Structure 1
């Protein structure tokens, strides 16, 4: 699969809006280009792919909105909406915030968000200039069933649409 085919597959997955296999997402991941931390600075609207991973329900329950990358050392990984619709950085759920590093994952070095308070790494690759794919690891533990890796997508939010986020 090349990057053009990967973009078409991603569009089809989004349009269908149904459960997607991790095999399809693995193929999509392999076709995409790696990114550097500075390629993802800014605010991003997130969406999880439905694979059956336990994190999907947690993100939905938290009313997850996306991520904000102010610099390599200042990342808000879990921007959520409260009951009034206001955005906030959910530091309790994320056990802190995060930073960006270049990390090898599946044989490639790419921008990776490292959570401050838990052993979770979100690896990023580029679909196009305004869309990123993420794969989070390690999130499985002995005795848990279902997909071992949650998958998500993020779309860049234009500066004019960026509301303030309380910490």
Structure 2
């Protein structure tokens, strides 16, 4: 593992993995089927998502931190997106551009900002592309999306096999932005 001194994160070498360890970190093994029936996670997620008032970021941090990691390969595909109402200014921005999700074509090719325009799903195109890496985040190996053209990283954890919780962090953001992805 290599240490990135600027961000104080550990980057895990994907090349060193054996076939049984593809897309899983050095300190965890994930079998998504173990979490498919975890109704507690989805109940907590639904309560936070459907909150009538702004959600406290401490509650979102606690929820995120107790979720299991997600293998990079599980993210490949198209995902619908939404965000938790915390009062973060990025929420209004996402509404303004009609953000609806992310498209993961492969681990090395992600379109991070998919919008709805004229009834179709398409790339917003203004934030470039991204790639996925495993990074130690809050003491746990976590799937992360690193933007090519922005000082932004999205971290992902598994809610269930069709739902992912995310935290977006970046130098130009006003603190963490909490979002989620669901399989269409």
* Aligned pairs for 1:17-166 within 5 A: 17-82=52-117, 84-92=118-126, 94=127, 96-139=128-171, 148-157=175-184
- In the alignment, structure 1 segments of 5+ residues that lack a partner are 158-167
In the superposition, the TM-score normalised over structure 2's length comes to: 0.75
Write out per-residue CA displacement over residues 4-63 of structure 1, whole angstroms, 9 at most, x where no aligned residue.
544322111223343100011011011100112101111100001011111111110000
In the superposition, the TM-score normalised over structure 1's length comes to: 0.82
Q: State the structure with more CA Rg.
A: 2
- In the alignment, structure 2 segments of 5+ residues that lack a partner are 1-37
Q: SS of the residue aligned with 1:8?
A: helix
- Separation in structure 2 between the aligned mates of residue 72 and residue 58 of structure 1, nearest angstrom: 26
Paired residues in the alignment total 147
> Does the Cα contact within 8 Å between 1:126 and 1:133 map onto a contact in 2?
yes
- Separation in structure 1 between the aligned mates of residue 125 and residue 50 of structure 2, nearest angstrom: 32
- Separation in structure 1 between the aligned mates of residue 144 and residue 104 of structure 2, nearest angstrom: 12
Moved over 6 A (4+): none
